[in-house]
């Protein structure tokens, strides 16, 4: 008899989880209002918020692919009884200020930040600080949305009118000139915690462009693992997955943000690791064995974003790169939208970086971005 897993959200993270679980006698359902999501091309069990009770009844276990969930859904007690990794991380992630306050309260290291009650106060604080800053809206913050980078007074003046007229709350963070950014993904089932291989991440305009496995000092690895382990316990996550993005500056590491789910920075694990982040999620929430998945080879990932049309010619060029594997999400192209990704594998890190540059040139021939 198959196990039945419900996923709130039907995008690429749900779709890739479904593909990973299909060979393991797991049946899936998704809760989504989109009839053109990746998951809708893979399964028939598509439920909307109007059929929430049926979705809950179908599912033995429920998880989620994003945190921006309608709060009304979380009023369903039967859903909450089946939900992993739980509701607390969702509540924190739906509000950037709550997330930062939580991290500060429990003494997790972050870059200095300031709270504001509205846009006018955000403008006044930013003017007084006279520092390089990032002004962030407190909700719906993902893929660079609602972020305004302030390097100069001119940058601040460009958004002055917007801020002065906004009644929304904002978070202001001091700009961090970090050495590099890393991600660490962990899975937990009760007291057992395992970790995916760490990656180094490169962003453009607040959105992940590519990442790759790399050699990290043992000190950085152990610090990151200790922080993620403590964060899992502080969030009271018993089963599930947690991704943490860090800024590394010298020997200090700062939490940039966390996500209680599978993550864009973990896509490389589909091809370079003993088992992927998506299998890790399923193992964790279904009480299946966990062990630390090792790298089979060095690897990385390049996001496909924007107004790119995937035709046969583009597919051929990507497939000519040795070790490249294409994943397409079946979305309509749109500026800034993640449409797919290309994983690469290589015998060493330098070769992986070379392949990433080759893929970047194919996808973005008119941009010097890799």
CATH of the domain at 69: 3.40.50.20
Residue 120 maps to which CATH number? 3.30.1490.20
Residues 24 and 51 both lie in one domain: yes
Sorting pLDDT into bands at 50, 70 and 90, what band is 295?
very high
Tell me if 284 is assigned to some domain.
yes
Residue 218's domain spans which residues? 180-363
Nearest-angstrom CA–CA distance, 344 and 318:
10
pLDDT for 140? 66
Tell me if 216 is assigned to some domain.
yes
The answer to whether residue 359 scores a pLDDT higher than 90 is yes
> How many other CB atoms sit within 10 Å of the CB of residue 164?
13
Residues 273 and 140 both lie in one domain: no
The answer to whether residue 141 scores a pLDDT higher than 70 is no
Q: Is 351:359 a contact under the CB 8 Å cutoff?
A: no
Four-residue CA torsion sign, 222, 260, 201, 100: negative
- Taking residues 336-349, report their average pLDDT: 95
Nearest to 337 by CA among 11, 9, 4: 11
- Taking residues 331-358, report their average pLDDT: 95
Sorting pLDDT into bands at 50, 70 and 90, what band is 160?
very high
Residues 219 and 355 both lie in one domain: yes
Q: Is 159:120 a contact under the CB 8 Å cutoff?
A: no
Residues 198 and 273 both lie in one domain: yes
Residues 308 and 223 both lie in one domain: yes
Helices (H) and strands (E) in the chain, counts: 13, 17
Residues 259 and 123 both lie in one domain: no
Axis crossing angle, helix 277-285 with helix 12-21, rounded to the nearest 10: 70
Residues 118 and 48 both lie in one domain: no
Nearest-angstrom CA–CA distance, 256 and 111:
8
Sorting pLDDT into bands at 50, 70 and 90, what band is 292?
very high
Nearest-angstrom CA–CA distance, 16 and 9:
12
Nearest-angstrom CA–CA distance, 230 and 227:
5
The answer to whether residue 142 scores a pLDDT higher than 80 is no
Boundary of a domain, candidates 174, 199, 214: 174
Nearest-angstrom CA–CA distance, 45 and 58:
9
Residue 254 maps to which CATH number? 3.30.470.20
Q: 314 phi and psi, to 5 degrees?
A: -65, -40
Boundary of a domain, candidates 155, 174, 193: 174
Please name the residues in contact with 78: beta carbons below 8 A apart, sequence gap of 6 or more: 53, 56
Residues 159 and 283 both lie in one domain: no
pLDDT for 363? 96
pLDDT for 335? 87
Tell me if 257 is assigned to some domain.
yes
Hey, what are 161's tokens? Answer: 């009118």
Opening angle at CA 273, ends 349 and 201, nearest 5: 50
Q: How far is CA 151 from the centre of its chain?
A: 26
What is the torsion angle, in degrees rounded to the nearest 10, for the CA atoms of residue 207, residue 249, residue 148 and residue 120?
A: 150
pLDDT for 18? 97
Residues 63 and 196 both lie in one domain: no
Q: How many domains does the chain have?
A: 3
**% of the chain surpassing 70 pLDDT:** 99
pLDDT for 171? 94
- Taking residues 90-116, report their average pLDDT: 95
Boundary of a domain, candidates 142, 174, 206: 174
Residues 231 and 347 both lie in one domain: yes
Tens-place pLDDT, residues 164-195:
999 999 999 999 999 999 999 999 998 999 99
- The DSSP secondary-structure symbol of 217 reads -
pTM for the predicted model, two decimal places: 0.94
Query: DSSP H helical segments within the chain, as ranges?
Result: 12-21, 52-58, 77-82, 88-93, 96-105, 119-129, 153-158, 160-164, 218-234, 269-272, 277-285, 312-319, 349-363
Nearest-angstrom CA–CA distance, 93 and 53:
25
Tens-place pLDDT, residues 255-286:
999 999 999 999 999 999 999 999 999 999 99
């Amino acid at each position: 008899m198959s196990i039945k897993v419900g996923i709130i959200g039907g995008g690429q993270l749900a779709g890739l989880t479904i593909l990973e679980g299909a060979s393991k006698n797991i049946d899936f359902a998704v809760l989504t209002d989109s009839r053109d999501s990746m998951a809708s091309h893979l399964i028939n069990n598509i439920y909307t918020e109007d059929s929430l009770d049926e979705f809950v009844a179908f599912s033995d276990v429920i998880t989620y692919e994003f945190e921006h969930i309608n709060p009304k859904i979380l009023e369903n007690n039967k859903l909450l009884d089946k939900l992993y990794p739980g509701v607390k991380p969702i509540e924190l992630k739906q509000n950037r200020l709550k997330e930062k306050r939580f991290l500060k309260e429990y003494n997790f290291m972050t870059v200095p930040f300031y709270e504001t009650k509205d846009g006018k106060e955000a403008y006044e604080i930013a003017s007084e600080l006279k520092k390089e800053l990032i002004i962030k809206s407190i909700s719906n913050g993902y893929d660079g949305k609602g972020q305004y980078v302030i390097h100069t007074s001119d940058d601040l003046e460009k958004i002055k009118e917007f801020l002065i007229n906004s009644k929304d709350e904002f978070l202001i963070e001091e700009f961090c000139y970090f050495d590099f950014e890393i991600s660490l993904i962990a899975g937990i089932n009760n007291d057992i915690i395992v970790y995916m291989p760490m990656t180094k991440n490169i962003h453009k305009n607040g959105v992940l462009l590519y990442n790759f496995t790399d050699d990290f000092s043992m000190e950085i690895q152990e610090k990151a693992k200790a922080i993620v382990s403590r964060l899992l316990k502080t969030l009271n996550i018993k089963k599930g997955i947690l991704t943490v993005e860090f800024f590394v500056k010298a020997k200090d590491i700062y939490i940039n943000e966390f996500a209680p789910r599978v993550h864009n920075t973990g896509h490389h694990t589909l091809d370079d690791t003993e088992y992927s982040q998506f299998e890790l999620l399923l193992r964790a929430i279904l009480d299946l064995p966990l062990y630390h998945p090792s790298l089979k080879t060095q690897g990385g990932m390049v996001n496909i974003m924007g107004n790119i049309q995937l035709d046969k010619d583009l597919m051929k060029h990507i497939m000519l790169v040795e070790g490249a594997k294409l994943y397409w999400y079946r979305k309509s192209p749109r500026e800034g939208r993640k449409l797919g990704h290309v994983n690469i594998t290589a015998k060493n890190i330098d070769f992986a970086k070379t392949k990433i540059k080759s893929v970047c040139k194919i996808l973005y021939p008119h941009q010097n971005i890799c």
